[in-house]
Chains A and B, each alone.
Chain A
């Protein structure tokens, strides 16, 4: 856990340094009272002190081994990476392809790939989760969902 604790501690330390610098550039105090920099400055300063204490404790204290199962198995890691990739891809293409097509592709990939479902099952759930969910959320609940801005898909109302 030593490396993990150090890495997380350093990330927090960097965040607090960035916030201290950022808040100094804002007004610390105004005629009305504390300015926009007051609260973030003290937060970041306290976070910096506590993170430093944490790092000292990690360096000085006994080094604990990584708990069992800290790293996922190869299959687990692949599944995780697959879903993460699909999520990022969905976020990037949802506004271009529209919700229904983007979600259909997302679910097909997630269910057939990392989910290891059969093709018919993946298609059935993907249609339900994309076109069905669109009907439920958009048509019934009135939630706005992205539509495609590609010509022919737009013409199809997708």
Chain B
């Protein structure tokens, strides 16, 4: 099935009333997640996974995908109108967006952000349509060895970008891999680290772990802070002026390309895309002194870049089965829970589903554009609900979700335990993203590694002797060792300077 024919089939599937409904609900919930400060996209997705348990696979994935990219639209509303970043990716928008709102230009800022997000998101979705068939052709040639090495590269990249300390990221990544080893051995069927508990025979469930690490721990952190008050700034008109529109063309174009390219690299975050877009805009501007005082370019560029990134980050997932962030790892988990394996084989074995989901990205982005602006008063109203009530309702969702996974209170216990662990890790500044990613990649990685070694008769050279695998592993080594080299080089330079 070529890309255009596939996309057309996808649109036919995505336009059914049922799937339109799922995309709508996903977009709505995603915007809500983005609007609520302190609930990130990963936490929001983890909390809302239970809603998708009884849906058909197609609907569940459409809804969760819309929830994922929708959260980045929602984050802007809180950032611009209230001066509180709804999402970490929107933090940089605060600099100019909130200033614009204070000047009564909040409506223009939100319109430009929504339009930019739509352009960025749609461009990245087009990129997926073009790239998917090409990448799938290459990926189909990959054997277990190449896939193992590819997963190592993805893990290395995520650990590099995950936190300030590479060592902490590596330890957290290995912690996730360790959790993934709990349960029945995939080849021989011997229980590993199950403490004799029957509930652990199938391994530690991904959903309560992610809900705990990202969702519950975030609630615990929010409980520490006193209740926030909502101050709403004025909003005169939603329509940007002619000058605003002219000023935004360049930033939107640059943000689209920058976000798209960064999105292709697993481990990079939407926040990084926004930040780089902002600094690019400051650098190319003829009057950089306007930035920080309500420059519309400071909203258009970053907001476009983060949505372009969010959609582009789905390309490695759909074509290679590699999640680049915790949110996408949750989406990968949703695929797996529905008995699907994203990657090159998805387009070969379930082309209708794959293209329907891809087509739903276009529809979801359009829905978000239409939904966002008229619904702003509703979101602001939701923000006025006391945090304690919202927390109570979020906790209800989590407890239902954890229990309904396997109708067992054990998963509720897992949720609470990982909530506490996540809270401790946040306090100790250990990044959580590597754990989520490696927990889901762990079984796949082990399976591919063991298969590769079985096929080679235990010969380890199989990993570096084949050109693709060897190159990928060399790349992974470079990614991990580069920060070490930088530290050593800086120390040497400092010492040389001191001696001189």
Contacts and interface: CB of A to CB of B under 8 A. Distances in A.
Given A30-B188, A54-B167, A70-B427, A111 B223 contact: no
A117 B403 contact: no
A155 B267 CA distance: 53
Nearest to B189: A36
A12 B175 CA distance: 8
A22 B220 CA distance: 33
A4 B167 contact: no
Interface in A73-102: 73, 75-77, 79-80, 83-84, 87-88, 90-92, 94-95, 99
A110 B390 CA distance: 11
Given A8-B424, A53-B167, A84-B420, A15 B175 contact: yes
A22 B457 CA distance: 25
A22 B190 CA distance: 13
Chain B facing A: main interface SS: helix
* Chain B interface size range: 35 or more
Contacts of B399: 87, 90, 94, 103, 106
Nearest to B445: A39
A145 B408 CA distance: 9
B192 A40 contact: yes
A156 interface: no
Nearest to A67: B429
A117 B446 contact: no
A115 B450 contact: no
Contacts of A73: 224
Nearest to B166: A50
B389 interface: yes
A51 interface: yes
B453 A110 contact: no
Interface in B269-284: none
Interface residues of A, number: 73
A10 to B, nearest CB: 12
A133 B400 CA distance: 9
Given A57-B167, A137-B404, A36 B190 contact: yes
Chain A CB within 10 A, most for which of B396, B404, B450:
B396
B279 to A, nearest CB: 26
Given A50-B171, A111-B388, A111-B389, A76 B224 contact: yes
A26 interface: yes
Contacts of A150: none
Contact of B389 (A15, A26, A125): A125
Interface string B422-449: 0011011110000000000000001001
A60 interface: no
Interface in B374-402: 386, 388-389, 391-393, 395-396, 399-400
A141 B54 contact: yes
Given A22-B193, A110-B391, A142-B54, A43 B409 contact: no
Contacts of B416: 84, 87-88, 91
Contacts of B427: 4, 70
Interface string A49-75: 011011001000000000001101101
A74 to B, nearest CB: 11
Nearest to A48: B174
B329 to A, nearest CB: 18
Interface string B143-185: 0000000000000000000000001101100110110010001
A46 interface: yes
Contacts of A130: 396
B454 interface: yes
Contacts of B190: 26-27, 36
Interface string B341-378: 00000000000000000000000000000000000000
Contacts of B53: 141, 143
Contacts of A5: 428
Given A90-B399, A115-B388, A27 B188 contact: yes
A24 B281 CA distance: 56
Contacts of B224: 69, 72-73, 76-77, 79-80
Contacts of A27: 188, 190
A32 B225 CA distance: 55
Contact of B393 (A12, A50, A125, A141): A125
B187 interface: yes
B223 A76 contact: yes
B458 interface: yes
A144 B171 contact: no
Nearest to A79: B223
B348 to A, nearest CB: 27
Contact of B396 (A22, A43, A129): A129
Contact of A114 (B177, B181, B388, B429): B388
Given A5-B428, A115-B386, A141-B51, 10 more contacts: A8-B430, A30-B188, A36-B187, A44-B178, A51-B171, A57-B167, A79-B224, A84-B420, A145-B403, A146-B409
Interface of B: 50-51, 53-54, 167-168, 170-171, 174-175, 177-178, 181, 185, 187-188, 190, 192-193, 219-220, 223-226, 386, 388-389, 391-393, 395-396, 399-400, 403-404, 407, 409, 412-413, 416, 419-420, 424-425, 427-430, 446, 449-450, 453-454, 457-458
- Enumerate the 3 nearest inter-chain pairs by beta-carbon distance, A residue then B residue, closest first: A115-B388, A33-B454, A36-B185
Interface of A: 1, 4-5, 7-8, 12, 15-16, 19, 22-23, 26-27, 29-30, 32-36, 38-40, 43-44, 46-47, 50-51, 53-54, 57, 69-70, 72-73, 75-77, 79-80, 83-84, 87-88, 90-92, 94-95, 99, 103, 106-107, 110-111, 114-117, 121, 125-126, 129-130, 133, 137, 141-146
29 contacts: A1-B429, A23-B192, A26-B192, A33-B453, A34-B458, A35-B185, A36-B187, A36-B192, A47-B171, A50-B170, A50-B174, A53-B167, A80-B224, A83-B223, A84-B416, A87-B395, A91-B409, A94-B399, A110-B392, A129-B393, A133-B400, A137-B50, A137-B404, A141-B54, A142-B54, A143-B50, A143-B53, A145-B403, A146-B403
